[in-house]
Amino acid sequence: QKEVEQNSGPLSVPEGAIASLNCTYSDRGSQSFFWYRQYSGKSPELIMSIYSNGDKEDGRFTAQLNKASQYVSLLIRDSQPSDSATYLCAVNIVDSSYKLIFGSGTRLLVRP
Amino acid sequence: KAGVTQTPRYLIKTRGQQVTLSCSPISGHRSVSWYQQTPGQGLQFLFEYFSETQRNKGNFPGRFSGRQFSNSRSEMNVSTLELGDSALYLCASSGTGGPTGELFFGEGSRLTVL
């Protein structure tokens, strides 16, 4: 079982819709969770971090964490074509704190 | 504030050669992590350094090595290159000394092994 799993997609949504990206992780003791966005040909950039159960909102982005279910999600409201990118979920594995483990990413395509 | 700088950006090597990649972190950042990115495997952790000490290492063969200097600049070396080492090598720095998470990535060094 992979440590961090994501559906590779592509996830295709129309402009203005809500895009929902999901991630599961295997280490129950993990404490820190991150979403990175990677445009084609570019390097990843951090867009959200979440450390506690519940929701965290930042503009059009909402990160959701459920530690009991070992599940992290990212919602993008009012999706724009410029949101088309690969979204990487990353988890800090508790017994290897100085190592961030990335999922394989979900490719999001927002149709105009 | 300058970002993470990686050199060289592109390089082509042949099997059996070795390569050294360089990374200059954001000023003030003391943690540097290295990742290998390939289409099939995604982002794979190589190692992380803080204050010249390797704090964690990924599951890569011993041909992959790294180091960090007192000015926080880091280098990674791959010896006896194999075709499968062709990848984008990403360096990322972090401003905290604690558990890694909020990383700032460089543009990467794209290595092609022929």
Report residue B98's pLDDT band, with 50, 70 and 90 as the boundaries: low
pLDDT at B97 over 80: no
Helix, strand and coil in chain B, % to nearest 5 = 5, 55, 45
Task: Give the pLDDT score at B99.
Answer: 63
Mutate to test the interface with B, among A100, A104, A106, A107 (most CBs of B within 10 A): A100
Question: CA quadruple A88, B36, B25, B93: dihedral positive or negative?
Answer: positive
Of the candidates A109, A110, A105, A84, the one whose C-alpha atom is nearest the C-alpha of residue A34 is: A105
CA distance B77 to A84: 34
Q: Is the pLDDT of residue A1 over 70?
A: no
**pLDDT at B1 (0 to 100):** 65
Size of interface A-B (CB pairs under 8 A): 61
CB contact under 8 A, A43 and B43: no
Query: Has residue B96 got a pLDDT over 90?
Result: no
pLDDT surpassing 90 at residue B12: yes
pLDDT (average), residues B56-71 = 95
**Considering only CB atoms, which residues of chain B are within 8 Å of chain A?**
31, 33, 35, 41-43, 45, 48, 50, 55-56, 58, 90, 98-108
Q: Mutating which of A86, A87, A88, A98 best tests the B interface, going by the most B Cβ atoms within 10 A?
A: A98
Calculate mean pLDDT across residues A89-109.
Answer: 85
Alpha helices in A25-106 (DSSP H): none
Average pLDDT, chain B: 93
DSSP B50-75: ETTEEEEE-S--TTEEEEE-TTS-EE
pLDDT score for B102: 87
The SS3 assignment for B90 reads strand
Q: How many residues does chain B have?
A: 114
Are residues A96 and B56, on separate chains, in Cβ contact within 8 Å?
A: yes
Average pLDDT estimate for A26-54: 93
Alpha carbon distance A23, A6 (integer Å): 5
